[in-house]
Amino acid sequence: MIGDRYSLDREIGRGGMGAVWLGRDELLGRPVAIKRVGVMPGGSSPDLMRAEREARIAASLNHPNIVGIYDLAHDADQQYLVMEYVEGSTLAELVRERGPLPTREAARILSQAASALAAAHASQIVHRDVKPSNILVRSDGEVKLSDFGIARMTADPSLTQTGLVTGSPAYLAPEVASGTQATPASDVWSLGATLFHALSGAPPYDVGDNVLGALYQIVNEPPPRLPNPGEMAPVLLATMAHDPQRRWAMEDVARVLELLAHSDPDASPLPDPGPATPDVTALHRATPVGGTRALRPAPEPAAEPVPAPVEPPAPDRGVAPPARAARRRRPVLPLLVAALVVLLVGVIGALILTDDPQDEATPPGVATSSDPPSTAPSSEPTSATSSPSTAPSEEEIRTFVVGYLRTASKDPEAGFEMLTPKYQAESPEYDSFWGSVSNPRVDAFSADPETLVATYTYTYNLRGAGTKTEQVRLQLVQDDTGALLIDGAS
């Protein structure tokens, strides 16, 4: 018995921070999951401070997709977290047993995890260890996010110092792998890496015994891409973007995944942005902190698309006005690999890996293992054509137009790449116009999938001229991969 109240049945999971047992609350007569707090790597005694912090942070979050914390029980000099028992499997186990998940099932599971993380971020809490074995899936499909053991409140001092690496290596964001402090954007990357795992059947990085090598790869090399991501391409590109500022907010990730989870399985997939939304990610360079030299990424050799978040069907926000600027069309995806050799001067303060590189399970559920990764470079669309094999739906056209407006208003150079070469040549004032536009939002929208004509009314702010409202008619085409491009506007 623990604390004269909780009986232990059997161990159901184990990770770097402690073991998890199936137990019973004898007072309330219900099953519970009990985590015995372990010793931090390099420590000599149980990390009681971490246990108290995990209990306090997790208990402060009231969300249907977060494992509930019931109690922090004391027994002799040991502490135990008493948690909601979730009967089911971890996402890691599901993938290990069944292989890559179908797109909509992955979207359904990850949308719930993203919703939980969005709630945590709204409370100024960063999870810092998002991975498949911390996502529990019940038999009824409900998802629970667990293990806030290394989570921190952004306003509170962290129990780990800057320069120490925390989290599971295969899912670490580049800025965290380089030794800088985790932010909500770091959780976004980790969720994207988890989505990659769910869709491919393997983690995005093969860690094995070479942890430093994996960290170097995460920091310095372009993110791995699936060969055929389909309609998941925008989510993967906008979560696993090297520059944290180019990633979507977690609430946007949750919204888009929810839309994909409930989309028509017989409809054509969302168009792969390909070169239509080129990478406008600025080179992210980690800076040395706390006297420790952080790994510095080499320049990213290829442009990666970072699409704007998809908006739900309610009041639309952000659509593209008529394109107006012609410039020389940039190369589509020039893979100019010019990696800089990084000198590791000094040792990264300490490498605190809360789970073993093979991603063992820590939450109440089942221990998991990771398969070797399988990654391949993404293919590039070629020339535009108006006769693709599959026509997009009206919703897909709306998604493209919304994304175009957001992209063009934030980065005219990226928006310009969403035009066909012909229309680029007809748009001599594109940069000057879009460089003055902000906060575009759609008031009305309609589209004809057969003719690929989109008509919409939108309102935007024009620098020096105030608020403007226009009606626009876009003529779209598809290239031979199905990606949409703008071929004319009026």
Strand-pairing partners, residue 66, are 145
Residue showing tokens 């996502």: 135
CA pair distance 424, 416, nearest whole angstrom: 7
Residue 414 in contact with residue 481, Cβ under 8 Å?
Answer: no
Residue 448 pairs in a beta bridge with 453
274, 481 Cβ separation under 8 angstroms: yes
Q: Is 342 helix (H, G, I), strand (E, B) or coil?
A: coil
Q: For residues 40 and 45, what is the distance between their CA atoms, to the nearest angstrom?
A: 8
Residues in Cβ contact with 143 at an 8 Å cutoff, skipping those fewer than 6 apart:
65, 109, 112, 113, 116, 135, 136, 137
Instruction: Identify the CA nearest to 219 among candidates 252, 186, 183.
Output: 186
Greatest CA separation for the chain: 79
Q: Return d(Cα 112, Cα 14) in angstroms, integer.
A: 24
Residues with Cβ within 8 Å of 400's Cβ and at least 6 positions away in sequence, in order, are 271, 392, 476, 484
83 near 34, Cβ under 8 Å? yes
Reply yes or no on whether 129 is catalytic.
Answer: yes
Using CB atoms within 10 A of its CB, is residue 227 exposed (0-12), middle (13-18) or buried (19+)?
exposed
The tokens for 89 are 């499997």
Query: Do residues 69 and 56 make contact, with C-beta atoms less than 8 angstroms apart?
Result: no
Strand ranges inside 16-101, DSSP E:
18-25, 30-37, 69-75, 78-84, 88-90
Active-site residue (options: 129, 147, 187, 272): 129
Q: How many residues does the chain have?
A: 490
Q: Is 318 helix (H, G, I), strand (E, B) or coil?
A: coil
Q: Which residues are catalytic?
A: 129
